[in-house]
Chains A and B, each alone.
Chain A
Amino acid sequence: MRKTFINTLCSLAEKNNRIWLLSGDLGFSILEQFEQKFPDRYINIGVAEQNMAGIATGIALSGNTVFIYSIANFPIFRCLEQIRNDICYHNADVKIVSVGGGMAYGSAGYSHHGIEDIGVMRLMPNMTVVSPADPVETKLAMTAIARHPGPCYLRLGKSSEPVLHQKQPDFDLSKAIIFREGSDITLAATGSVLKMAIEAAEELKVQGKWAEVISVPVLKPFDAETILKSVHKTGRIITIEEHSVGGLSAVVAESITGIKCRFFPLLLKQPPITVAANQKQLMEMHGLSADSLLRAAKEMLSE
């Protein structure tokens, strides 16, 4: 996803000379092409996220669109007050890009896991929150947020996320994407764990059950309408996300309040994991896996 991010950003910056990129001294071997092409619109701020968010505000308030780049929780937690008071309150045109959302940095440990980011960014006023599932959505999301005036948070995976969309979906910053239609159960996912939902739908199909798979790349503003329409049809919904409480499960729960349906959130429930493990293993430790999704779906379908 990060390659798609930088390639798309470079092509957007070719056409729009008001696009800037700031790095918090991260993005080695990724960001160099932007710096080479647009040296006057690139700065490595240094290891100083508060300063990066403040400087981005100053550049944006001077008439520019500023992308700030770092990894996992780095570009949002240390500088949360700068995001709230400077970027969001002034509705500054700053796009915060985090690579390695979720637990993509695996064995690097909890300091490098971005698993509360969606929840925190949702609380920020004027903020659009985007979490694409694959390189196709990433490219579409980049184009959309560059056009959208105002603060955005873009949560990306890291490097080897597979392409899930075989054809280009319609992408809009106010819409969820129906990946595959079904009538028995709704599987709504945000980020690269959409893959788990797609695989579970395949398994369920073998057993004669039709899952509707919805990708939710935009968590704020949240497309409750698409979710509600699907839940009215299926009466069952499972949310899947590589995130703690406060993310997709929360926005779905808020929107289905008062609707008679079954709801199960599959998310990161455990306290911080303190042993080394890769991303897949960490997710399994949290109970987030294709197997657990399938089990939950079958249980829900048998009720």
Chain B
Amino acid sequence: MMTTESLSKKIRISALKMVHRANASHIGSCLSIADILAVLYEKILNINPTQPNWPDRDRFLLSKGHAAAILYAILAEKGFIPLDSLQTYCLNGSALLGHASHKVPGVELSTGSLGHALSVGCGMALVAKRNSQNYRVFVLLSDGELDEGSNWEAILFAAQHNLDNLIAIVDSNKLQGFGTVEQIIRLEPLTDKWISFGWSADIIDGHNHSQIINKLSKLPFEKNKPSVIIANTIKGKGVSFMENKLEWHYKSPNNEQLQTALIELERAANR
């Protein structure tokens, strides 16, 4: 079995190559969730790549659909899609759209416009409760997307209906479209907001695998309450020249930048 650390490095490398080949955006957003995805798919989610629509599977919804490249990368590592299909990302005729696509096995919901998945996740979690099914629903959101009011409708609803099988993970990399979350639309005190809306909340370092495993193994944090994990992350994590740089929400690495990034990631992988 692969360690979650080596899995996260693999998908970082895949996402970099995919984004480079397609001259696509959002590599920074991909890199900030690599560690969370690796732990979820390796240790936490109850899923089966040979039966992606198995009714009792855990659901994972990527609300920040622009990080699709790294989602496809982990689905390929886990056997949902062929590894070589990653090379078609964003190219003409490929199912691997630039934003998460439900036509790809293992992707539950097409996303891309922000603020949609948490409501859909509430619906899925409610069905499990009412039908006495055991599956859980994980929704990964960005911090910037919490500007969307629809999220707060879903946050109220989940608490009202005691959806303790619903887990939100906020990829809190502190950056959004034009700058910092703090400058644009302040979310702090973010944990207190979720708690005051009736959720059970915890904060972790979103790149520390043992912390991620530890928290995700203790769900729900409280019976009858939905759980939220505020994951403090670094946009562009793992490639030093991309870290905390807004421009890597938009730019695609050129050949030289790709090589530099790959060398850095592979060195880290061999350490």
Contacts and interface: CB of A to CB of B under 8 A. Distances in A.
Interface of A: 40-41, 43, 45-46, 48, 50-51, 53-64, 81-82, 85-86, 89-90
Interface stretch (B8-16, B44-52, B108-116, B251-259): B108-116
Contact of A58 (B122, B149, B153, B160): B122
B81 interface: no
Contacts of B126: 43, 55, 58-59
Nearest to B101: A89
B127 interface: yes
B156 A57 contact: no
B124 A48 contact: no
A177 B226 CA distance: 50
9 contacts: A50-B115, A50-B119, A54-B123, A58-B124, A62-B127, A63-B55, A82-B119, A85-B112, A85-B113
Contacts of B157: 45-46, 48, 51, 55
B120 interface: yes
B121 interface: yes
B87 interface: no
Interface residues of B, number: 31
Contacts of B55: 62-63
Contacts of A81: 113, 116
Contacts of B161: 43
Contacts of A40: 130
Contact of A51 (B125, B128, B150): B150
B110 A58 contact: no
A85 B116 contact: yes
B102 interface: yes
Contacts of A58: 119-127
A60 B127 CA distance: 9
A48 B102 CA distance: 25
A55 B120 contact: yes
Contacts of A62: 55, 123-124, 127-128
B29 to A, nearest CB: 19
Interface of B: 55, 102, 108-113, 115-128, 130, 149-150, 153-154, 156-157, 160-161
For the complex of A and B, list the 6 residue pairs with the smallest distance between their C-beta atoms, beginning with the closest: A58-B123, A54-B119, A51-B153, A55-B123, A48-B153, A62-B127
Contact of B124 (A45, A59, A82): A59
Given A51-B157, A58-B124, 15 more contacts: A41-B130, A46-B160, A50-B149, A51-B122, A54-B119, A54-B120, A55-B119, A55-B126, A55-B157, A58-B123, A61-B124, A62-B55, A62-B123, A81-B113, A90-B102
Contact of B116 (A43, A48, A82): A82
Contacts of A61: 108-109, 120, 123-124
A41 B127 CA distance: 9
Nearest to B135: A62
B58 to A, nearest CB: 13
B59 to A, nearest CB: 9
A41 B123 CA distance: 12
Contacts of B130: 40-41
A63 B115 CA distance: 23
Nearest to B121: A58
Given A51-B157, A63-B55, A85-B112, A57 B123 contact: yes
Contacts of B153: 46, 48, 50-51
A17 to B, nearest CB: 10
A64 B120 contact: no
Nearest to B61: A58
A59 B123 contact: yes
B51 to A, nearest CB: 15
Contacts of B112: 85
